[in-house]
Structure 1
Amino acid sequence: MKSMVWDDELESVAQNWADQCDYKHGHNIPQNSEFQRTKPGQNLFATTRRPVDPTRSLYYWVDEEIPFYTYANNSCVPGEKCGHYTQAVWADSHRVGCAVAECAVKSPFLGYRGVWYYVVCNYYPPGNYIGQKPYRAGATCSECATDDSQNTGECAAGLCPTEYECSRFPENCGRENKCGSTVLACQNGGTPDYDNCRCQCLPQWTGASCQSPKCPVVQQCEQGKPFDYSTCSCQCGKYFSGARCEIPNCRAMGANSLDRYSAWCSDPNNTPKYCDYRLSGTTDLIKYAACPVSCGVLEDFCPGKTCLNGGQLECGSCKCTCPRYFTGQRCESRV
């Protein structure tokens, strides 16, 4: 079983949810947080008495619910609750953050309209998976040295320290703390670097504790293009432009009459190729440069419009470029 340590970002996420005074499970997670992909586990508690310390709820959940839980068949006494207990002791959960909010609305107590207090505790990674037991029975620390990449392989106080714990509290793991009494409280998924006494931030964050977004605006890039946090812009490549890569560079794609609206087209060497939207790798050149419409890269930017007499349709402007001796919007008139 992994040892549990406090996590400031989990506390912040818990506070964001508690402040809404809505007594139900949920999260209000900032964009680009490491918890966006895998949501934390969560325990809730409501009371009309001000909690001295919200973390005391952790002990209440364990003490009150453990008598109702049977490990052998992973069951709970009918009519009782055991989920708070099983999450609190879930073996893989090793980060916790709790918060409390004072609420004057949405009381969960029937007929009560006074002030109530909302305690939220978040756990990461989450637990309480259906059909799984909270831990595996066995000798103390018997699995600390397994292939689990989160563990250090050591045993401390009957629990398995994690790399996360040792990076944030090196003294807990018998390691040198070069930063003295300074605790690196890295936010937004940042990693404490006690060798250099600073936070190593994820690409989208900056600041001493990774508290500030690196880019004032994060664009949702189109066409599957990546957002580059070093330049705060979409990396559109050769064939698209615009803040979100929403503008096709039609000439770069060879869209002026190279695409015959057929499943067949030619690559730059005029070799017939079949346009398959599943093509990838080096065949992207065929998709983008030779037949963007029929390969599903682009929509028809000029629906229903065609050029006559050998004219070429420019997809950016939807104008026909007419050959010699012809004119008109569709090259329909002979000069």
Structure 2
Amino acid sequence: MLWIILGAAALAGLSTSQLCTDNVRRFCGTSPATACMNDRCSIAESSEFDDSFRRQIVDAHNQYRREPFNGQDATNMLEISWDDELARTALNWAHQLCIADNVFGPGHDRCRVTPSYSSVGQNMAWGAGGSWGLSSVLANKTVDMWYSEHKLATSADLFPFGAKMAIGHYTQLIWARSHKIGCAYIVRTHPYGKQSWIICNYAKSGNRVGQDVFERGTQGSNCPSGSTRDSTGLCRVSNDAQLRSALGIQEP
């Protein structure tokens, strides 16, 4: 089995034409807008109708977002929930990587904004092996590998974030102010058995140099406006409009 980290879903009814708005195209300017990409890797299977993958990858993210870093809990860690716009743009880009027929392909997309989010982060990975067509492997193994980067991190790397590339997947995974996620995979037959590209898009984008990954203190004691502490210590969104205002989330 091969595994390579590339970078730091029920989508029926949401089409590329709904994402490729005038505002998105204007925001991206001369950069290709992933929301407007229609090409499909015809020899591959995708996560488009895989509800199990969606549930498992959200749960895996929230499991790790509850974990302290070196004994330090987060006062403001938002619970992650699914977003179809982010998932559709992730799927559009996964198809591009498959079409490129290269492990690393073109790398991260240059403009992944959606009609609802002008700031979108991204984690990517590639895997190959006999089990890489299974939702449980694609969801859980991917997130486990991203989280494993915490072993390379120190408090000085996180408070504030200093753009250490070796931990970028981990820091986006646990970025406190990211509260929406949309992920996708593409799987095709490969000499190793199965070949898969996995992409997760996040809003609001994390990995902002000079900002703390999370606020340290009593778990869930300082949830952002529009969210409240749940029984697990995460901040669950109770008023999306209020939260967007508190976090400064904007449309393109």
Q: C-alpha separation between the residues in 2 aligned to 1:154 and 1:86?
A: 21
Q: TM-score, normalised by structure 2?
A: 0.51
Bigger Rg, which one: 1
- Between the aligned partners of 1:71 and 1:143, the Cα distance in structure 2 is 20
- Classify 1:27/1:115 alpha carbon distance in 2 versus 1 (closer, same or farther; 3 Å): farther
Give the direction of change, closer, same or farther, for the CA distance of 1:80–1:20 in structure 2 (3 Å limit). Answer: closer
- 2:198 alignment partner AA: V
Tell me which stretches of 4 or more aligned residues in structure 1 moved more than 2 Å: 27-30, 51-55, 72-76, 102-105, 112-116, 151-156, 163-166
Q: How does 1:138-217 map onto structure 2 within 5 Å?
A: 138-144=217-223, 148-149=224-225, 151-163=226-238
Preserved contact between residue 227 and residue 239 of structure 2 (Cα < 8 Å): no
Structure 1: give runs of 5+ residues left out of the alignment.
106-111, 167-335
Q: Within 5 A, what are the aligned runs for 1:294-313?
A: none
The correspondence for 2:125, drawn from 42, 45, 48, is 45
Residue by residue over 1:263-321, the C-alpha shift from the partner in whole angstroms, topping out at 9 and shown as x without a partner, is xxxxxxxxxxxxxxxxxxxxxxxxxxxxxxxxxxxxxxxxxxxxxxxxxxxxxxxxxxx
3-state secondary structure, aligned to 2:227: coil
Task: Give the residue type in structure 2 aligned to 1:141.
Answer: G
- Within a 5 Å distance, the mapping from 1:19-168 to structure 2 comes to 19-21=95-97, 22-26=105-109, 29=112, 33-35=115-117, 38-49=118-129, 50-53=132-135, 54-56=138-140, 57-62=142-147, 64-74=148-158, 81-102=166-187, 116-144=195-223, 148-149=224-225, 151-163=226-238
Q: Which has the higher helix share?
A: 2
Contact 1:19 1:101 in 2 (8 A): yes
What's the CA shift for 1:23? 4.7
- Determine helix, strand or coil for the equivalent of 1:48: strand
Conserved 8 A contact 1:14-1:27: no
1:73–1:43 CA distance, 2 compared to 1 (3 A): closer
Q: Check whether the contact 1:13–1:27 (CA below 8 A) recurs between aligned residues.
A: no
Q: State the shift of 1:29 in Å.
A: 5.0
2 CA distance for matches of 1:140 and 1:67? Answer: 21
Q: Which has the higher contact order (CA 8 A, sep 6+)?
A: 2
* Structure 2 CA distance for partners of 1:137 and 1:51, relative to 1, 3 Å: farther
* RMSD, aligned α-carbons: 3.3
- Fraction of identical pairs, as percent: 31
Aligned to 2:55: none
State the 1:46 CA deviation. Answer: 0.7
Separation in 2, partners of 1:158, 1:51: 33
Question: Matched residues in 1 for 2:240 and 2:232: separation?
Answer: 14
Could you state the TM-score of these two structures normalised by the residue count of structure 1? 0.39
In the TM superposition, what is the alpha-carbon distance from 1:141 to its structure 2 partner?
A: 1.0
Q: 1:155 corresponds to which letter in structure 2?
A: D
- Residue 44 of structure 1 aligns with an amino acid whose one-letter code is M
Pick closer, same or farther for the CA change 1:134–1:162 going to 2, 3 Å: same
CA distance in 2: counterparts of 1:129 and 1:20, whole angstroms: 26
> Judging changes above 3 Å, is the alpha-carbon distance between structure 1 residues 156 and 27 closer, same or farther for their aligned structure 2 residues?
farther
- For the residues of structure 2 that align with 1:19 and 1:3, how far apart are their CA atoms? 28
Q: CA deviation at 1:27?
A: 5.8
Residues 15 and 73 from structure 1, CA distance in 2 versus in 1: closer, same or farther, beyond 3 angstroms? closer
Q: Give, as a single letter, the amino acid of the residue that structure 2 aligns with 1:138.
A: G
How many angstroms does 1:47 deviate by? 1.1
Given that residues 97 and 121 in structure 1 are in contact (C-alpha distance below 8 angstroms), is that contact kept between their aligned partners in structure 2?
A: yes
Q: State the 1:133 CA deviation.
A: 2.5
The letter for the 2-side match of 1:101 is: I
Name the aligned partner's letter for residue 187 of structure 2: E
- C-alpha distance 157-115 of structure 1, shift in aligned 2 (>3 A): closer
Task: Supply the distance in 1 between the matched residues of 2:221 and 2:198 (Cα, whole angstroms).
Answer: 34
**For the Cα contact (< 8 Å) 2:120–2:202, is it kept in 1?**
yes
